[in-house]
Structure 1
Amino acid sequence: MFLSTGILVPVMDFVRPRFPYINYVTGAVVLFFVLLCMMKLAKVPKDKVIPSSFVLSAFVCMCVFSVGSLASARHAAQGGYIAASSEDAKALQSNLLNIERQNADILGEIRGLRSGKSTDPRVELSNIGVKWSESEFIAASIRGDLRVLELFLQGGMPVHLQSSDYKYSLAQYIVARNSPNMKAQLALLQKYGFDLSSPTSVKQTPDKDGPPNLYYYAREQAMDEPARVLAELGVQSAGYDEWKQKRPSAKKAVDFGI
């Protein structure tokens, strides 16, 4: 009993980040000791006598578990008492947890491969028959295919379209064509870090006197619905009328004709 307690308490403290139940085990040990005492006092079972040494051993084990549990709980944020007291133990604990996470990631990849799915967006696009190309990126936007569009964005496809001479953004393309699921498409671009309030939201190298953001562009092109959607997405809209007064004329909207 002493040997088991001497091994179990430090082990449970060490694995606390993965198995934080030492307090419950301690509670079970305390309950066992209380029941043992009650059985001893009640002389149950009647035909057998519980040795006093056994009760004393249970008491010592209960005390060890209680002290160990309190010490472990006090250093729970550091991964337990042992990890808080020893840098080597902390490093070992961290390495074991990292190995476990890596194994879980590997198993997840294997399950994904078996099911035909992958965490790599480029592989997942290939699995569903979509090539990694700008033309497919644009085609997904034309269809309003949010799943494919997001996979391209996750994979790092540039939002400024290289097929355009001036490298207009996909956001400008979505607004100019009033693409299906326009608001959801623009929200996806925002989700993956594209700033719709930036001068580069229209094209990669903005004109000196061009629209300062996509909302201004939509208003300049008399695209009321896209402008409303952009305002709902939080794109900077204040000051358009003042800016418009300084503009001699509006340029025609760009359509790539793809």
Structure 2
Amino acid sequence: MKNARSCFAIVVAFVLLACLVLPITFYLINRPRIPNAPLPSPNAYDTVDQASQATTAIPLDFAETNDTDALIAFVNRNQTALKLIDQSLDQPCVVRVDYESGLDEILERAAYNRPATRLLIAKARLGALTGDDSAAAMDYAKVVLLNSKLTNGGVLVHVGGALACEAYGLEGLVETTPRLTSDERKPIQAMFNRAKRKAIDLDALVARESTLLKVHHGTIRGTIISSSLNTTSPFVQQTKQADDQNQQLYLDVQSALDLPPSS
């Protein structure tokens, strides 16, 4: 009888231990390893974030308005943000991804750098309206440099946003550069050359996106969801097409600025 009770107690203890250990084991197996990539310090991504937070409310028609007084007032209110943007242009950049934040928060956070770019575009618009094409071209060149930095790291939403902003700067340069004199082009050439544009590393981008899905859905479900995510996936291909289009615009600007093609 005692032996039966002892066996029963052992079985109960084993079941209780299994109930404790199995969930922990499953949690550890299902929890992916979060990349711990080193970030530069200072990081241009963080400086742009500060600049965007310092930027006051942006006029809805900032890129197309003809109201020079409103643009002058807007630019004057944002001198601190403009100084931070200039600082970021001299800093290395790796986009910070907080994998453990909620997906909605990551989407919202990805838009945080947009006010800084919009401020530069508004300033470029002001230059164009006042007949100062060299100032407008310089601001467009800064848009290109800034957003070429912001394609380094991040997931699809970060890279896609940066490519869209970069395209706006490149298109602005294509439009304004032909109106510049040879001397006016020199500082624009120097700023533009700093971009050192590179094609997006699609394999690395897919890997980061897959990690994000695994963190939010667990390794098992995340692996299933991300199994169809590769360099030929529709969203990744859209990113590649935008990157290719920007590269062609980049070459067009190089030609307009009388710069030799990148090696």
Q: Is TM (by shorter chain) over 0.5?
A: no
Larger Rg: 1
Relative contact order, CA 8 A, sep 6+: which one is greater? 2
